[in-house]
Each structure stands twice: as structure tokens, then as C-alpha cells.
Amino acid sequence: MAGQTIEFKGKTLELDEDGFLQDPDLWDEEIAEFFAKEESIPELTEEHWKVINYIRDYYLQFGIAPMIRKIGKACDMPVKHMYQIFPTGLDKGACRCAGLPKPTGCV
């Protein structure tokens, strides 16, 4: 399966095979909300945004997603709880909502 191009609120978005945004610069909060629905999150709450914003800021600074334990510490949330609010996982659901490319490697 190849990636796809979608039209979203006047923007043309290239997505990879797993639905991740190809160009992180095109990200906005509405895209996060749109992705969230596909990641089994009915509505993004304050807690979700805390995690999403941290991941995104870290990515913009370092060019990679933060370690999960780091997210927990920075957002003051147990890892287990983060997996509850992002049921498809932090590497998939949270990173996708934050507009990051899909994490790869031996993870």
C-alpha cells in the first residue's frame, strides 16, 4: 500500500502508508483533532494536549520524538495513564497527533 494525499480544510496533506503526516511543518491543531478521531480518541482533552505539545516541542528542538519516560516526567503522568488516554500507543497515536513522522527502528 502506498501513501496517500488528502485535502483537509484547504491544505493538501501527504500522508505515509500508516497515515502519518509527511511534512511536519504543515501540522496544525485541527489536523491533530482529525487524527485523534482515527486513533480512537473521541475528544482531545487538556491532558492530551499537554502530551501532544510536549512531544511536538521536543521534536522541533531535537528532530526526534522524546523517550516515553521523558514524556511521563515532563507531563507529570504515569506511563500507564498515557497509554490509557492514547489507546493506540504513544509511538503511534500520540506521535501521529503531534504531526511527527512514524517512529522506526527496533522499537
- Tell me which residues touch another protein (CB under 8 A): 1-2, 17-18, 62-64, 67-70, 73, 92, 103-107
Shortest distance, CB of residue 16 to another protein, whole angstroms?
Answer: 8
Shortest distance, CB of residue 59 to another protein, whole angstroms?
Answer: 10
Which of 1/10 has CB closer to another protein?
Answer: 1
**95 carries an active-site annotation:** no
C-alpha cell at 14: 501527504
d(CA 100, CA 77): 21
Shortest distance, CB of residue 43 to another protein, whole angstroms?
Answer: 25
d(CA 96, CA 100): 6
Which of 29/73 has CB closer to another protein?
Answer: 73
Which of 29/70 has CB closer to another protein?
Answer: 70
Q: Which residues are catalytic?
A: 106
